[in-house]
Amino acid sequence: MNALFPPMSGERDRKTVAPGAVHVPNWLTLEQQSWLADRFREWTRGPVPLRAAKVRGHEMSVRTVCLGWHWQPYKYTRDATDVNGARVLPFPDWMTRLGRGALRATGHAAADSYVPDTALANYYDEAARLGMHQDKDEISRAPVVSLSIGDSCTFRFGNTENRGKPYTDVCLGSGDLFVFGGPARLAYHGVTRVHPGTAPEGCGVDSGRINITMRTTGLEG
């Protein structure tokens, strides 16, 4: 790339990992990252605390706090009935705007009519992993928008058939955007490892990794 003509904002190197799945490195500025990290810490103060969801009796190593709708394995509820029964915080308007911007940046259609209504905010310490899974507890098949802050990780993005190959390993760094929709919406994906000590100065996270995914549940009420 010619150093005189770096990419202008909005056209930074974006990479299509699979049809419908796009990675945009450094989409968020450091200031935006640290602001989001502050919001994340606010959300963890309640009314529903950060918790490790239990899947078939086993606690996940990733800990999650939700907005809009509370995700528990296989369903969404308004109240965190598997934690303390409290209603989750509302889904903020600024996050809808952020989600629409993310769809525009990744060339997804109908960005301006995107209406995400839940966000899962995950925290990974250096030992946390997330097994290969599909995001399919939503009725809607609108795209999933994912934002990462803090330590980088190896994100494995696979196929829609099974947990195995073919898949692509992507390094998701602080500030990166990843969107999957359309033919990639039900692709299996997971986090195989977090890379300690890689969070950039000023991102608002000293150690570990925050990941925020927004989705449209398709639920009413």
Ligand X SMILES: O=C(O)CCC(=O)C(=O)O
H or E element in which residue 32 lies: helix 30-44
In the complex with ligand X, the residue whose CB is nearer, 7 or 55, is: 55
Selection from 156, 215, 205, 179 nearest residue 39 by Cα: 205
- Answer with the entry of ligand X, Fe ion, none that 216 interacts with (C-beta below 5 to 8 A by kind): none
Residue, CB closest to ligand X? 211
Query: How far is residue 170's CA from residue 176's CA, in Å, rounded to a whole number?
Result: 11
Residue 210 CB neighbours (<10 A): 24
Query: How far is residue 38's CA from residue 208's CA, in Å, rounded to a whole number?
Result: 14
| Among the residue ranges 6-14, 75-83, 129-137, 167-175, the one whose residues contact Fe ion (CB under 5 A) | 129-137
- Answer with the entry of Fe ion, ligand X, none that 119 interacts with (C-beta below 5 to 8 A by kind): none
- Report residue 26 as tokens: 């450094």
CB of 144 vs Fe ion, minimal distance in Å: 7
In the complex with Fe ion, the residue whose CB is nearer, 12 or 163, is: 163
Query: How far is residue 37's CA from residue 126's CA, in Å, rounded to a whole number?
Result: 17
Rule CB under 5 A: is residue 138 a binding residue for Fe ion? no
Rule CB under 5 A: is residue 135 a binding residue for Fe ion? yes
**By the criterion CB under 6 A, which residues form the site for ligand X?**
120, 122, 130, 135, 146, 155, 172, 189, 191, 211, 213
CB of 180 vs Fe ion, minimal distance in Å: 9
- Answer with the entry of Fe ion, ligand X, none that 146 interacts with (C-beta below 5 to 8 A by kind): ligand X
Selection from 2, 12, 202 nearest residue 107 by Cα: 12
- Answer with the entry of ligand X, Fe ion, none that 103 interacts with (C-beta below 5 to 8 A by kind): none
Residue 145 pairs in a beta bridge with 179, 214
Of the chain, the end-to-end C-alpha distance in Å amounts to 50
In the complex with Fe ion, the residue whose CB is nearer, 29 or 139, is: 139
Query: How far is residue 115's CA from residue 142's CA, in Å, rounded to a whole number?
Result: 9
In the complex with ligand X, the residue whose CB is nearer, 114 or 123, is: 123
In the complex with ligand X, the residue whose CB is nearer, 8 or 188, is: 188
In the complex with ligand X, the residue whose CB is nearer, 65 or 191, is: 191
